[in-house]
Amino acid sequence: MTTPVQGITLTRTILVPPPQVWAAFATAAGWCTWCCETAVVDARVGGRYHIYTQGYNARGVFTQLILERSLAFTWDGDDEPPMRVCVLLDGQGRSTTLTFTVTVLGSLDARPGFVDFLERTWGRVLDNLKAVLEGERAG
């Protein structure tokens, strides 16, 4: 018996071109503008990242990078099952449609409500990404 795929997909349209959204995920400075206090990022296939914010750590390995189009990486956060994150960027003129997918790789049998937690948490974080990047454009 196989375990059903568990995860979320969120979409945001951000009013900046793809290179700015790409940098938010592919650079330490980018991560720190919208998501965390400190970050170490080696954006290459097989490269590692580590982000830290308010007592929470997440780390992983980049598994795919297509310049300004997509990124994929593993996500190992404190007290969470292992996950895979895929970020797709679709540039449309001066805006970017971001499709953000998180797939839980471990069992959630002991974690009822975890997928809802992911949707709420990442929803807020991606809303912040949008606000920060659009604010940079306006500033």
pLDDT digits (tens, 9 = 90+) for 98-114: 999 999 998 888 888 99
Q: Where are the domains of the chain?
A: 6-138
The Cα 55–Cα 37 span in angstroms is 10
Question: pTM surpassing 0.75?
Answer: yes
Mean pLDDT, residues 46-53 taken together: 97
Mean pLDDT, residues 21-38 taken together: 96
Are residues 33 and 24 in contact, defined by beta-carbon separation less than 8 angstroms?
yes
Domain 6-138 has CATH 3.30.530.20: yes
Are residues 117 and 13 in contact, defined by beta-carbon separation less than 8 angstroms?
no
Are residues 42 and 59 in contact, defined by beta-carbon separation less than 8 angstroms?
no
Please report, for residues 33, 49, 99, the alpha-carbon distance to residue 8 in angstroms, rounded to integers and kept in the order given.
Answer: 23, 22, 10
> What DSSP character marks residue 9?
E
